[in-house]
């Protein structure tokens, strides 16, 4: 049984974050290039749907998942 990395990311006043930046900022991807590769290879889902747009706008209350990780995105005023 593998462990799943669970992260919570707060937008902190911003309306959204680009998917590739979210993966990098949460440490799921080590580099921006790796984040773009993960999305391009179809390894990332947003709210249960496959997402292939590297800079897709991720909004508050979204859930980003993939092999071994789950990121919950909150507005920031929910801290």
One-character DSSP codes across 36-59? HHHHHTT-EEETTEE---TTPEEP
What percentage of the chain exceeds 90 in pLDDT? 90
Residues 32-69: tens digit of each pLDDT: 999 999 999 999 999 999 999 999 999 999 999 999 99
Q: Which domains does the chain have, with CATH numbers?
A: 5-74 (3.10.290.10)
Phi, psi for 28 (deg, rounded to 5): -65, -40
Q: pTM surpassing 0.85?
A: yes
Q: Provide the pLDDT for residue 24.
A: 98
């Amino acid at each position: 049984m593998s462990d799943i990395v669970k992260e919570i990311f707060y937008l902190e006043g911003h309306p959204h974050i680009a998917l590739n930046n979210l993966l990098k900022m949460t440490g799921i991807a080590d580099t921006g290039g790796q984040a773009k590769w993960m999305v391009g290879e179809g390894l990332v889902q947003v709210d249960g749907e496959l997402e292939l747009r590297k800079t897709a706008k991720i909004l508050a209350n979204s859930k980003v998942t993939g092999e071994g990780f789950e990121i919950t995105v909150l507005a920031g005023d929910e801290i």
